[in-house]
Amino acid sequence: MGVDIRDLRIAIGGKEIVHGVDLSIGDGERVGLIGASGSGKSMIARAMLGLLPPDVMVTGSVMLSGAEVIGAADRTLADLRGRYTGMVFQNPGASLNPVLPVGRQVELPLRLHYDLTRSERVERVNAMLAKVGLPADVAAKFPHELSGGQRQRVGIATALITSPRLIVADEPTTALDSITQRQIVDLLVSLVDEAGASMLFITHDFSVLTRATTRCVVLDEGSVVETGETATMLAAPQDERTARLVRAARTLTLRVSREGADRETDRGAAPSDDATADEHEGEA
Amino acid sequence: MRFVLRRLLLFVVALLAISVAVFAMLRVLPGDVAAVMAGVNSPPERVAQLRAELGLDRPLAVQYLDWCANLLHGDLGASMLTGRSVSEQVGVRASITFPLITLGLLVALVIGIPLGCAATLARGHRARAAYRLVSIVGGAIPALWSGMLLILLFGRGVGLIGVLPSQGFPAAGWGAPVQALTSLVLPALSVGIIVGAGLMRYTRSALGELAASGYIEMAMSCGMTRTQAVRQVGLRLAMPQMVSVVGLTFAEMITGVMVIENLFALPGLGTGLVTDVGNRDLIAVQGELFMLAAFFLLIGLLVDLAHRALDPRLKASIGGNEVSA
């Protein structure tokens, strides 16, 4: 599913915060959207999926697989979401329904979009949980009974259960420690590639971006300042604002790598099994 | 299970404390129950005789234990004024007040929750202002005024569309179910509109916070419309708090409907308590106060158990098996 965004403008309370953004994602392409906090990244992601509150003014065009999102009816957008698109949120602890067992949460897109029997849904949920490295008994647990990494795996399972053509990942690693960050990015990338889906990966961290994307768009104060191959842009940023972000990311990456190395030393060895690492984290 | 047992134990302890408080309160009040019963000009011998008859000459601890033993058998004593059993009297009054407040609460829920949802989902300043106006006006109407207005509109014999009885409760009580029920419709509407406006504001406030949360966005990202997400996910998430509010509102309504009971000439619990206090029928007041306090405690217990059953996170925080992120 391709995405074509043209002249996207978003205003809250009469103040424009995204100024005419153009962005496109090809079939099977993984594109990064990077920018400092408050640059409008998450607003763009939400506008793409029609998730912004009704009092937010959105103009321009967002074509999702040939269908216009801006101005579309609520029902039309809801039919697209969860079926053709999936979203992975920044903080699964604040987005997974806290009173719903994990299995019921993961099956929600199936329940909303497909006419399946309960046992068929359970079968698919268990298969999906296994795919994201979670044991089947997690299905009966509530989000608060899981570690941060496990919750994000549940978030990914929910986003991917219907094999959508586009995944929007809104800073999916920000709330995690550096080791779990890497595991989650690798898991997301492998599952998206395996499904042949496209992905918009939003982050303010270049170190994560290089693992997750091949091309990226840099956003500053609501405007696109640079677009290009992720690796090239990291090596030789053209715009001063991009260069500033890259410098900040390098400092952060150095610090995070040092902290990560310290933690791995503390744990005795780098955990090879993702789920084990998460469980370890959960006990911490 | 441990929580339930602990909560039940707390209920029993609180009940005991309240029984002591109610018993002691009426003993420390100025005046002697026997003197009040005997009348102002009675000779001291008559008062002393009454004191002995009532067992008031015994030590306080013995009197208290005796009262508690009677309570356990459902015996609240006999009214000083009529000589009738207080338990029976409370039972008859409760058979009016409880159906009245249950109906009133149903009206409030039917009005408050859908309007609260609609106010949360309202688009545009005008629609939102209109809902705000409804909730403010609804909550600001005095019960007496809304009751009178309803009588003037629908009261049989006096109203413009006089279809419903507006005075009294059938002598046969619930033996005449249709008459009993229809006599409660206007009072229940009067109280329900006001309580409903309060519930509407509470629903709007609870859902307003949740509507901007990640939980609603997550449900929408799975394929729900905003309306579906707010109604299904938002309401479910707000339910533990809503249950607390509804439970406490229900408890408050027992005495809160007194004005309405008076207006519609319904001999309910609130009206009865005020009458008994006015008559200085201390035995009746003691029993009624205890029953009211016990009911408040029971509602508190049920609300706590429901709250816990509705929010699985509470089990973890009390059981201590929450996993850190």
Give residue A259's pLDDT band: very low, low, confident or very high (50, 70, 90). low
CATH number of A3-283: 3.40.50.300
Q: Indicate the DSSP class of residue B113.
A: H
Compute the distance between CA of residue B87 and CA of residue B71 in angstroms, rounded to an integer: 9
Question: Would you call B10 exposed, middle or buried from its count of C-beta atoms within 10 A (0-12, 13-18, 19+)?
Answer: middle
CA distance A37 to A248: 13
Please give the pLDDT value at position A266: 54
The answer on pLDDT for A276 being more than 50 is no
What distance in Å separates the CA atoms of residue A128 and residue A275, rounded to the nearest whole number?
14
Task: Output the pLDDT for position A260.
Answer: 54
Residue A10 is inside which H or E element, if any?
strand A3-12
Q: Kindly list the structural domains of chain B, giving each domain's residue range(s) and its CATH number in brackets, ordered by start.
A: 93-278 (1.10.3720.10)
Residues of B in contact with A108 (CB under 8 A): 219, 222-223
Contacts of A165 (CB under 8 A, 6+ apart): A1, A27, A65, A84, A85, A197, A198
Contact B222 A89 (CB under 8 A): no
Nearest to A139 by CA among A117, A159, A157: A157
What is the distance in angstroms between the Cα of A87 and the nearest Cα belonging to chain B? Answer: 6
Phi, psi of A231 (to 5 degrees): -65, -45
Residue A87 phi, psi (nearest 5): -125, 135
pLDDT of A254 reads 56
Least CA distance to B214: which residue of chain A?
A95
Least confident of B27-36, B149-158, B245-254, B261-270: B27-36
Give the tens place of pLDDT for each residue, A41-93.
Answer: 999 999 999 999 888 999 999 998 788 999 999 999 999 999 999 999 999 99
Transcribe B224-262 into DSSP letters.
--HHHIIIIIIHHHHHHHHHHHHHHHHHHHHHHTHHHHH
> Is the model's pLDDT at B108 over the cut of 70?
yes
A20 touches chain B (CB under 8 A): no
Residue pLDDT, tens place only, A171-221:
998 877 778 888 889 999 999 999 899 999 998 877 788 889 999 999 999
Residue B31: pLDDT band by 50, 70, 90 thresholds?
low
Q: Fill in the amino acid letter for A161.
A: I
Residue A281 has what pLDDT? 43
| DSSP annotation of A180 | H
* pLDDT, position B231: 94
Domain residue limits, chain A: 3-283
Confidence of residue A257 (pLDDT cuts 50, 70, 90): low
Q: Which of A152, A193, A197 is nearest to A175 (CA)?
A: A152
CB-CB neighbours of A205 under 10 Å? 19
**Predicted pLDDT at A275:** 45
Residues 34-63 of A with CB under 8 A from B: 46, 49, 51, 53-55
Lowest mean pLDDT among A6-10, B124-128, B246-250: B124-128
Whether pLDDT at A280 is above 60: no
Question: Smallest Cβ distance to A54: which of B123, B220, B322?
Answer: B123
Q: pLDDT-derived band of residue B256, with 50, 70 and 90 as boundaries?
A: confident
- pLDDT at residue B216 is higher than 60: yes
> How do residues A148-175 score in pLDDT, each as one tens digit?
999 999 999 999 999 999 999 999 988 7
Pick from A112, A142, A282: CB nearest B224: A112
Checking if the pLDDT of B189 tops 60, the result is yes
| Angstrom distance (rounded) from CA A199 to CA B55 | 85
| Contact (CB<8Å) B225/A77 | yes
Element (H, E) at A253: helix A240-267
In whole angstroms, what separates CA A162 from the centre of its chain?
16
Partner residues linked to B226 by β-bridges: none
